Amino acid sequence: DTAVSQTPKYLVTQMGNDKSIKCEQNLGHDTMYWYKQDSKKFLKIMFSYNNKELIINETVPNRFSPKSPDKAHLNLHINSLELGDSAVYFCASSQAQSVSIQYFGAGTRLSVL
Amino acid sequence: AQSVTQPDIHITVSEGASLELRCNYSYGATPYLFWYVQSPGQGLQLLLKYFSGDTLVQGIKGFEAEFKRSQSSFNLRKPSVHWSDAAEYFCAVGVRGGADGLTFGKGTHLIIQP
């Protein structure tokens, strides 16, 4: 059973479109995260959610919006996609309120044409 | 704010040889430290972590790392590498007391020569 699962694994789309990436964890964790890995493999935190509340929001364009229907899910919605949004997006989860081990999904490779 | 430096972008090692990947961090207090590995096209897998206590930590796949506060380092080692160890290795630091994300280094790409 996959602990942190993301769908889709690959996403190819045109500039200007709106797309969503889904993430689900079955670990019973309270905190979930989205990271972006750029073409040089640099990983940077985008968002984290703790008990459905946004905890941090780094300097991410407001075209990106995390949506959490419950604590097991944290979806990433992206409006008006741009070429620079092409990257691999990773979802992760951990136990709440303290830094602990983060478990990562397999990633979603987004290509904007 | 915390930061992580992995000074080696690429490292090439012969199969069976020993390995050391360097990691230096910057943070005002005692950090949480992690090493993750990413195989091509895969997600990140945790190799080992340091939270407190013994400064030499053992991980999976025969890896170990040593926390040296005086040098702000957390270097990863393996006595004998296997071809399957070829991957991207990331050092990361976490901040105590909050549900913050991890701050990652830029990664070290490990190449194994036969």
Contact B52, B69 (CB under 8 A): no
d(CA B11, CA B20): 9
Band of residue A113 on the pLDDT scale cut at 50, 70, 90: very high
d(CA A4, CA A21): 13
The pLDDT of residue A2 is 72
Which residue on chain A is closest to B51 by alpha carbon? A100
Which residue on chain A is closest to B94 by alpha carbon? A99
Residues from chain A that touch B95, judged by Cβ atoms under 8 A, are: 99
pLDDT, mean over chain A: 90
For B11-66, how does the pLDDT look when each residue is reduced to its tens digit (9 = 90+)?
999 999 999 999 999 987 778 999 999 998 888 999 999 988 899 999 999 999 99
For A25-77, how does the pLDDT look when each residue is reduced to its tens digit (9 = 90+)?
999 988 899 999 999 889 999 988 887 778 777 788 999 999 988 889 999 99
pLDDT, mean over chain B: 92
Residues from chain B that touch A44, judged by Cβ atoms under 8 A, are: 104
The pLDDT of residue B62 is 96
Q: Which of A102, A103, A108 to mutate to test the interface with B (most CBs of B within 10 A)?
A: A102
Q: Kindly give the residue spans of alpha helices, DSSP state H, lying in chain A.
A: none
Does B98 sit within 8 Å of A40, measured CB to CB?
no
The pLDDT of residue B27 is 84
State the smallest CA–CA distance between residue B27 and chain A in angstroms: 14
Higher per-residue confidence, B99 vs B16: B16
The contacts of residue B34 (CB under 8 Å, 6+ apart) are: A101, A102, B46, B48, B49, B50, B91, B92, B93, B94, B102
Contact B25, B4 (CB under 8 A): yes
Percent of chain A topping pLDDT 90: 64
* Among candidates A55, A104, A106 on the partner chain, residue whose Cβ is nearest the Cβ of B99: A55
Q: How is residue B43 written in tokens?
A: 């997600």
The pLDDT of residue B96 is 65
Percent of chain A topping pLDDT 70: 95
The pLDDT of residue A99 is 60
Which residue on chain A is closest to B87 by alpha carbon? A41
* Among candidates A40, A45, A107 on the partner chain, residue whose Cβ is nearest the Cβ of B43: A107
